[in-house]
Amino acid sequence: MRLGDFILEEAIIRELRPASKREALAEMVQHFVDAGCLEPGAVESVVDALMEREEIGSTAIGHGVAIPHAKHKAVQRLIGAYAHSSEGLEFDALDGRPVKSVFLILWPDGVIGPHLEAIAQISTLIKRQTWLRRLLTCSERRDIVDLFAEVDRELEDAVG
């Protein structure tokens, strides 16, 4: 699965305002509305679903990265958002580090596991130091989109 298949360009936030975990997730979900992929009335309920998952255990995976995710009936297909926080968000990470990169994933209720391949693709990006460093220093949304496209191309070539 390619990052470009599910991360919406309109839902890439170059700099997230300093916020609590819930506020950060709400801002990201709002971008799905702005992109026309979610009804405005569903925002609160989607954020609730994401927070419920966080309560089971933080989705921060270390290296300053978190992958909050949830299924929801208001979503028609697998969609993703990305947000960067220079200051870092308190995300209850196991390693205690603040989170500077948030990948948020939503998928339709009743569909099992489409987010897992998405998580694996994100992890592949994070694992390569040079890509993670570039992600953290991108100054424009366009640069982030270009980086995702480069990651997708390179991983596709690697698979053959």
Q: Provide the annotated active-site residues.
A: 69
Indicate whether 57 belongs to the interface with other proteins (CB under 8 A): yes
Q: Which residues, other chains included, contact 137 with Cβ-Cβ below 8 Å and sequence gap of 6+?
A: none
CB closer to other proteins, 97 vs 141: 97
CB closer to other proteins, 63 vs 141: 63
Cα torsion through 76, 71, 152, 27, rounded to 10: 90
Stretch that binds other proteins, among 9-17, 20-28, 110-118, 143-151 (CB under 8 A): 110-118
Indicate the DSSP class of residue 159: H
Stretch that binds other proteins, among 34-42, 55-63, 71-79, 151-159 (CB under 8 A): 55-63
Q: Smallest Cα–Cα separation from 30: which of 11, 55, 58?
A: 11
Indicate whether 124 belongs to the interface with other proteins (CB under 8 A): yes
Indicate the DSSP class of residue 98: P
Minimum Å distance from CB 114 to other proteins? 9
Joined together, the tokens standing for residue 111 give 């569909």
CB closer to other proteins, 18 vs 62: 62
Indicate whether 59 belongs to the interface with other proteins (CB under 8 A): yes
Name residue 138's amino acid: C
Of 120, 142, 149, 153, the residue at the interface with other proteins (CB under 8 A) is: 120
Between CA 114 and CA 104 the distance in angstroms is 13
Indicate whether 119 belongs to the interface with other proteins (CB under 8 A): yes
| Residue 113 backbone class (left: φ over 0; alpha: ψ -120 to 50; beta: rest) | left
**Interacting residues toward other proteins by CB under 8 A:** 56-57, 59, 61-63, 65, 67, 69, 94, 112-113, 116-117, 119-120, 122-124, 126-127
